[in-house]
Each structure stands twice: as C-alpha cells, then as structure tokens.
Amino acid sequence: MKSDKIVRLTEAEVDLSRLCGNYNKIKAAASVRIICIVKADAYGHGALRCSAALRECGADFFGTANLDEAVRLRRGGIEGDIIILGYTPPENAPLLAEHNIIQTVFSPQYANDLSCCLSGAASLRCHMKIDTGMNRLGFRAGGHYEQMAEAIRLPRLDFCGIYTHFACADTPSSPMTRDQYARFNDTVEALASLGVSFETRHVSNSAAIVNFPEMKLDAVRAGIILYGLRPSRETGTGGCVPVMTLRTTVSHIHDLRAGESVSYGASYTADRPLRLATLTIGYADGFVRSYAGGGVYIAGKRAPIVGRICMDQCLADITGIEGVYPGMRAVVFDGEHTADLIAEAGGTINYEVTSILTPRVKRVYK
C-alpha cells in the first residue's frame, strides 16, 4: 500500500497534558504568579506549542532569553506578559515597546542606552536585575543605590519588577542561596527608602521553588521542573513528571564476531560475539558523541551504545534481547528512563540533553 506520509525515524513526543499538570502542581504549591520559562525553544520542547498549552491552563507570564524568542511568541498569538532575561540591543528598544515585552535592565549604562533609543510616547516596561553573587548580569548588590534609583527614574522606562538569580539553589546545603536572598532584600529595602518600589519581586528558579519555598515573593520562575526534570542530583522535581519521550528506529540488525570493531576509529572491539542494532539517531539530531557511554531501551530492556556515535546513526548492543526487528522503535528517554541517565553518561545535565535536540527531530504533540 502506498503512502505519501513520511515516517519519522526519530521523534520527540511532547505530552502537553503532563506539561499543564506540572504547571498546576507548581501553581498550587507556590500560590503566586508563575513565570513559565520557555527560552531555548522551551528547553527543546517547542516554545510556541508549549506556551499555547500553558496559556490554556492559566499561565499569563513567560520568560525568554532574547528578543527573537519573545517576538516569535507574540507573532504566534501568545498574550500575557513576556520577559527577556538576557540582553537586547538598545536600538531594538522601540520593537520591545511595540510588542509590549518586558526587558531585563542590568546596568546604569544599559538603562540610559535603552531610554535614549525610545522616543515620543513610547514606554518600555523593565525589570531590574540585581547581581547578588552570580556575577553574570546585574546591578551589583551592596551599594550604589542612588545610581540604581537614577536609572529607574530615566524617561520612557517603566520599572515594574526587580529580581535576582541564584547560583546554588540546586545544592540545598550551600549557604550561598540564603546569602543572596538577604542581599536582594537589603537592596529592595534600600531602594524603598529612596522612594522606589516594584510591583513584582522574583528570585526563585526551579531549584529554589523546590528547596526554598519561603523565598517565593511575588512570582517564581519555573524552568526545568515545568518539563518534569530535576534541577540537579540533589534536587527533585516537586512532583512534576517528564513531558518528553524521545524515540528512534532500529534500521538494521547484525552479528559481530569476537575481535571485530565497530564504527569510526574502531575504538570499540568486541571481546565476545555480539548482536548489534543500528539506530537512526546521531549527533546531527542532538544525540552527541559523548553519550556513547549510555544506552537506549529496546523491547523494554537496556541496550548499551557501543562505538562512536555518528552524524546520523549509532549502534546498540542487543545481545540477549529477544524480539528485536528492523523498523522497531527504541526509546532514548521517557518518563521512566529519564534524560538524566543520558546526561550522566555524557558528563552533562538534562537541560542540555533536551535543549540541543535539533529541528531534524520532529516534535509530536500529544
């Protein structure tokens, strides 16, 4: 039977009902406004589709990394507040104002540049970022409050929020989070003494939502836990469940004799007879070479990756696994065998595993 439909060899299934369930769980626990972080294409899950689903279940605030991501949401019909957590060139300030996007402001010079690039009745909503110890972006906490107040009073800038970012909230035993929280509150109080107040204060990332619920303030920023993944080995998901399942396909099965090698560089040599499955996933899909120490799941059993991962294919050891056939699906990760396992094999974090999946991996929404 003929079919014009392309069979996708590797695809990522995104369960939007689980995503909304995670949002509702975070909302119920925090009881404040949730800023849904959908930067990096929603950590690889698909920003527009995920944002639309989250809007349907009540979300009204979204976080992106840059202007391009924010404008894509607006042009895709996403209403509510959108904040850019990173840098936008000052010459794009009119575009920020046009799309009613909130811009993070992190220095006196940047505030002045944004103000100068606006004209007429244009007004830009801003959140001031305070550097309490991350040392990446932000007005440095611990002084220069008059300078901060001057930036806030610049024309055409409307500072409706203030926030900071924690460096070690995923390590509950670290004293740094409480130190950063204290520096942030001292800054807010110092600015209040100068007649400056803010509608929205937020400090909690995913890890802090789980580990430091008392720091929720007016809003929290839900990132990795929104997608059901752990912020770190020491921090759970707060009951949220994985949203993505990554599957690929067995294209070929063959036997390897003892002493034979596989893949580029012949870096893996069999010390006994093996049965191998060739899989239709490689580093061009975001399944990078460092994952070679991990495995996939075929017929419900773990099959270790052997040899180097190629651009479009890799090899799995299916010795002893019955019922494997060409065309069969293999699970790379899912709700049971999470992206944490692949991350550990590759010496990285689950954030990277989902975020670097390339456009060649079709996202299928459930």
**What's the pLDDT at 5?**
82
In this predicted model, what pLDDT tens digit does every residue of 59-107 receive, in sequence order?
999 999 999 999 999 999 999 999 999 999 999 999 999 999 999 999 9
What's this model's pTM, rounded to 2 decimal places? Answer: 0.95
**How is domain 244-365 classified at the CATH fold level?**
Lyase, Ornithine Decarboxylase; Chain A, domain 1 (2.40.37)
With b meaning 16 or more CB within 10 Å and e meaning fewer, what string describes 320-355? ebeebeeeeebbbbbeebbbbbbbbbbeebbbbbbb
Q: Which whole number is the average pLDDT over 114-123?
A: 92
Dmax (CA) for the chain in angstroms is 78
Question: pLDDT band for position 6 (50/70/90)?
Answer: confident
Catalytic center residues: 39, 264
Beta pairing class for 81-84 and 102-105: parallel
| Res. 112: pLDDT tops 70 | yes
In this predicted model, what pLDDT tens digit does every residue of 129-148 receive, in sequence order?
999 999 999 999 998 999 99
Contact 316, 307 (CB under 8 A): no
Question: pLDDT band for position 302 (50/70/90)?
Answer: very high
CATH of 16-227, one of 3.20.20.140, 3.20.20.10, 1.20.1250.20, 3.40.50.300: 3.20.20.10
CATH 2.40.37.10 in the chain: give the residue spans: 244-365
**What's the pLDDT at 4?**
72
In this predicted model, what pLDDT tens digit does every residue of 185-222 receive, in sequence order?
999 999 999 999 999 999 999 999 999 999 999 999 99
In this predicted model, what pLDDT tens digit does every residue of 234-287 receive, in sequence order?
999 999 999 999 999 999 999 999 999 999 999 999 999 999 999 999 999 999
CATH 3.20.20.10 in the chain: give the residue spans: 16-227
Tokens 């995923």 belong to: 170
**What's the pLDDT at 225?**
98
**What's the pLDDT at 121?**
82
Q: Which whole number is the average pLDDT over 339-344?
A: 96
